[in-house]
Structure 1
């Protein structure tokens, strides 16, 4: 479409150049600019898009979008479009140029501190069981009818709008009618979903995560709350006090679910058919069932599919050999870690051994709490690195240890995560359970020297294969 057509419903001013040009795409990443693109020169936390304007023009940008009046008079040979907010314009333009696919799809968005990935995949599995062609988009990738799809986009919980709307159009072209996506607090705060039509929004819980990235707890809660004002109907966890307060502030029609009831129905029929352990997974299943009831399905429809539910990759993922069970889980918040530890403690007849760390440059306040929880539930704890990023791993470990007063006879600090996993598994005997928490599905580790390949699952598999038992010697080096 022409620039003038795209801009006719958006507040802006245009200076310089010839505005009546064809637009083929929009991006805020200079590397993605193609012939006929709009380049959105947004200022981020680490980089300023204004520094890439010349590069974007050389690659074919036909106009530059800014939200700083000081840039509107740059001597360029293309139009400069000044808008009130670059993020919201990027969302709007991405949806328009993709043909507004969310208007024709049924979209369910799930937010909450914990459980987003599990609930979105549960919803997808339930819909698929009922014959609905659906897509699930979130932390562990893009899935259509349960099969992971290769698609050129960043690995992010909630995709930036310039990737999301073309992806929705792609899903529509593949016959998808329902899309279930994870709505992260960062994604909501950055307006990535601002022009995505959301039919049902789920609020699962509010815990401690991403406070520092948002500038505090209240800003984090406000970001989550955006979904409650955007979705046409909302479903809220009535067992979470903060969630109820947020629902009270929303003007949208609100439905509630909880441990005892979902949208006015008893949960008994659902839970008696669920084969997945853990109270928190019971609540995740209830949340997913509530979404389908909100979409018009009956409790009987949903109950018939509950027994088929399976956890997604990296969520209580189980390995077992010679009586030693290893569980890999993405739990990286205090609430999530405690939920997993509680679940495993009820099925563990030997020692519960925990391997975990905390991410660098993220929410230092949760470290001590997670340390205290790990010690409370575990016979032995290995504190190690998670994604330290540019923070000193020794400092992170020290923060974690504050949760139990420093040194403890049942705690060992092993900074090399591979070594920590191996030591934990080698120390386990038949009947013991090893929990490896924090990274789940991730296939990398973010360190000061760069992003390195790393998989908790792969390392655990190797350790189990190399483990030596009395009367048995197997394995080898790699």
Structure 2
């Protein structure tokens, strides 16, 4: 693409040379990936500043450097902008020809439920005969092809590249998780959302956001960004049982469809019945009602199904197809996933890593627990410290025994994290076992017939990060090995 055309997407910039007749072959934000004819955008990260690598990028063949300050990178042209992060999103969208104009885009934001809701929507739209795209915490998918992913919401450059790839492969609809970080950092700037979903808001990411009000402000950006379109109808889908939805509703000019259980809403669940293996409820919608018998367990999963059903109804999917898809899906990796190896007690692995999500899971476990509940849980290092004692408090409140252990300590001392968890803890029904494998083994060895062991915090993750190094570690594999070892003793 001609540099002049590419830069025409920016509202303001200044440059030190003539920009005519220069071709840009690609856009990069990592100087190690530069090829001849590329544009390099200097991004200030949390640990490194891309401006420090601009000269290396020019030496590697970059013909244009986008920067927030003048740089000596001759013979490359310097393009100076006020904010390179925002500029990267605009430039990437222009370079890839506004790919989200080629398909309906559904964004799901909230503290909990984003991943499950995207997978439910994928199942519904596949049953509706559509080719789907999905971007989320676990992976990216285009149709049945699966790709690895590092962030819940990729940076703007990779996001637009992925959207472009989806457009080339002619997907019919795309669902994506949208994190508060992505919204605040402008990663989704330039993405044309058709439906925005709000699941809920509870304490998380206060290592990044200064307080809960700032966290909520970031979430509203998805809804203020819906804008006005006379070509495509746009909608906001809100969980009306969460009080924060009132702020979200006031943040959008688009029509709102609500869902809930406790409060009167457009889409509701009634006649709810929980079992260890399934959940049954009546799905009431503006287009009729039907009975859902789902393999997904718990109230929180009913909310996820209501969110997905609300979106599907807006996209004119029949109630029969919604019912079929919701009843077909077996579950999502690491979300209330049961580990079975012939034992006479239940072992459940769940991603719950916030006080609210842990309480939701444990309340569900409490619904059908016939004997004791053992909860194995830790909290991550280099993250919000204020939620650590809250997690421990929730674990002891709902469990017969809470086994507090290491999660992903990252660069922190695991012992210091556990000390934060136990500070001020009044309940005494807990033990501390720093080694996560030993903690899981301990909980499973304690379990007897009818007991439930919940292993919380990591869910689908297949690693444990200690001192900046990722080691292979899967709660599900460790649990299954512990069950089998117990059976042979």
Contact map agreement 1:372 1:403 (CA 8 A) in 2: no
Query: What is the 5 A alignment of 1:307-386?
Result: 307-320=327-340, 321-386=342-407
Q: 1:447 maps to what in 2?
A: 466
Structure 1 residue 266: Cα displacement: 4.6
Distance in 1 between the 2:20 and 2:202 partners? 47
SS in 2 for 1:213: coil
- Shift of the alpha carbon at 1:425? 1.0
Q: Is the 8 A contact 2:444 2:482 kept in 1?
A: yes
Partner of 2:316: 296
Report the CA distance between 1:224 and its aligned residue.
0.8
Distance apart, 1:106 and its partner CA? 0.9
Query: Residues 173 and 358 from structure 1, CA distance in 2 versus in 1: closer, same or farther, beyond 3 angstroms?
Result: same
| 2:59 match | 58
Q: Does 2:348 correspond to 1:305?
A: no
2:240 pairs with 1:220: no
Q: Are residue 131 (structure 1) and residue 129 (structure 2) matched?
A: yes
Residues 97-176 of structure 1 correspond to what in structure 2 (within 5 A)? 97-145=95-143, 147=144, 149-150=146-147, 154-176=149-171
C-alpha distance in 1 between matches for 2:422 and 2:298: 27
Contact 2:156-2:188 at 8 Å conserved across structures? yes
1:89 equivalent to 2:84? Answer no
Is the partner of 2:23 in helix, strand or coil? Answer: coil
Distance of 2:248 and 2:168 partners within structure 1: 36
> Structure 1 residues 129, 156: CA separation in 2 closer, same or farther (over 3 Å shift)?
same
Residue 89 of structure 2 contacts residue 190 of structure 2 at CA under 8 Å; is this kept in 1?
yes
Question: Matched residues in 2 for 1:165 and 1:24: separation?
Answer: 15
For structure 2, which runs of at least 5 residues remain unmatched after alignment? 227-233, 271-281, 284-289
Q: 1:402 to 1:197 in 2, by over 3 A?
A: same
SS at structure 2 position matched to 1:117? helix
Q: Tell me which residue corresponds to 2:251.
A: 249
Classify the secondary structure of the residue corresponding to 1:77.
Answer: coil
The structural deviation recorded for 1:311 is 2.1
Q: Write the distance in 1 (CA, Å) between the matches of 2:312 and 2:445.
A: 44
Give every structure 1 segment of 4 or more consecutive aligned residues whose post-TM-superposition deviation is greater than 4 Å: 260-263
Whole-angstrom CA distance in 2 between matches of 1:144 and 1:325 = 34
Q: Which moved more, 1:360-369 or 1:195-204?
A: 360-369
> CA 1:465 to 1:97, structure 2 compared with 1: closer, same or farther past 3 Å?
same
Moved more, 45-54 or 213-222: 213-222
Q: Which shifted more, 367-376 or 10-19?
A: 10-19
> Cα distance, 1:260 vs. partner?
5.7
Cα distance in 1 between the residues matched to 2:170 and 2:193: 19
Q: Which residue of 289, 292, 302 maps to 1:282?
A: 302
- Give 1:306 shift: 2.4
* Contact residue 354 and residue 378 of structure 1 kept, 8 A: yes
> Which of 263, 266, 274 does residue 264 from structure 1 map onto?
266
Instruction: Indicate how the Cα distance of structure 1 residues 266 and 394 shifts in structure 2: closer, same or farther if over 3 A, else same.
Output: closer
RMSD: 1.9
CA contact (8 A) 1:66 1:81 kept: yes
| Partner Cα distance (1:262, 1:22) in 2 | 57
Partner of residue 433, structure 1: 452
Q: Is the 8 A contact 1:274 1:309 kept in 2?
A: no
Contact 1:358 1:438 in 2 (8 A): yes
Partner of 1:188: 183
Compared CA separation, residues 162 and 74, structure 1 to 2 (3 A): same
- Name the SS for the 2:208 alignment partner: helix
Going from structure 1 to structure 2, the CA distance change for 1:397 and 1:16 (only over 3 Å counts) comes to same
SS of the equivalent of 1:273 reads: strand
Structure 1 residues 4, 384: CA separation in 2 closer, same or farther (over 3 Å shift)?
same
Residues 326 and 435 of structure 1 are in contact (CA less than 8 Å); yes or no, is this contact kept in structure 2? yes
Q: Do the aligned partners of residues 262 and 123 (structure 1) sit closer, same or farther apart at CA in structure 2, a change above 3 Å counting? A: farther
Measure how far apart 1:347 and its partner are.
Answer: 1.9
Distance 1:42 1:349, change over 3 A: same
Q: Output one character per residue of 1:191-244: Cα deviation in whole Å (capped at 9) or x when no partner.
A: 111111110000111110001212322221111110011133211111111122
| 1:449 CA displacement | 4.8
Q: How far apart, in 2, do the equivalents of 1:58 and 1:167 lie?
A: 28
Q: TM-score, normalised by structure 2?
A: 0.90
> Secondary structure of the residue that 1:241 maps to in structure 2?
coil
